């Protein structure tokens, strides 16, 4: 398919995504009601499985953080888990999950269309802007 980039997670699902639910041993991952798609999210294919899949197909990852129903602190935790080498809570947790090296994501998506009335946690576009250095 010659994929160059894949976004995780994608679509309306992003608005209720809890990235922490998608890492660690699969038998310990919570099953949650997924209100956007009206189903049960099992979290059996999560952040690290997506990283593995993207490496196999040679594509980059655009990691998406949920700024609709969650916030900047949770987004910062996700960046720490994905991109820091070690020595912090979240980076060491990733290492304990069998991923010694960071994912080193360069591309980050800040939510998904949260100004749309179909989104859980709808906000105006002005609310969704974040100043990045």
Check pLDDT > 90 for residue 45: yes
Contact call for residues 28 and 38 (beta carbons, < 8 A): no
As a whole number, mean pLDDT of residues 60-88 equals 94
96 domain-assigned: yes
Residues 6+ apart with CB under 8 A from 19: 47, 65, 66, 74, 77, 78, 81
Query: How many structural domains compose the chain?
Result: 1
Q: How far apart are CA 122 and CA 119, in angstroms?
A: 5
Q: Assess whether the previous peptide bond of 9 is cis (omega < 30° from 0).
A: yes
127 domain-assigned: no
89 domain-assigned: yes
As a whole number, mean pLDDT of residues 107-131 equals 63
17 domain-assigned: yes
122 domain-assigned: no
Check pLDDT > 90 for residue 56: yes
pLDDT digits (tens, 9 = 90+) for 10-36: 877 788 899 999 999 999 999 999 887
Q: How far apart are CA 32 and CA 51, in angstroms?
A: 22
52 domain-assigned: yes
128 domain-assigned: no
130 domain-assigned: no
As a whole number, mean pLDDT of residues 90-99 equals 98
Q: Rounded to two decimals, what is the model's pTM? A: 0.84
Pairing mode of beta strands 32-34, 39-41? antiparallel
pLDDT for residue 117: 62
Residue 33's domain spans which residues? 5-112
């Amino acid at each position: 398919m010659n994929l160059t980039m894949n976004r995780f997670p994608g679509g309306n699902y992003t608005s209720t995504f809890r990235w922490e639910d998608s890492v660690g041993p699969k038998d310990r991952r919570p099953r949650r009601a997924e209100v956007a798609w009206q189903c049960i999210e099992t979290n059996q294919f999560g952040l690290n499985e997506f990283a593995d899949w993207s490496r196999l197909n040679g594509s980059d990852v655009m990691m998406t953080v949920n700024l609709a129903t969650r916030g900047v602190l949770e987004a910062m935790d996700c960046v720490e888990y994905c991109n820091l080498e070690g020595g912090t809570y979240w980076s060491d947790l990733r290492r304990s999950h069998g991923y010694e090296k960071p994912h080193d994501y360069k591309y980050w998506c800040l939510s998904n269309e949260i100004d749309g009335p179909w989104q859980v946690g709808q906000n105006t576009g002005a609310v969704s802007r974040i100043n990045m250095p």
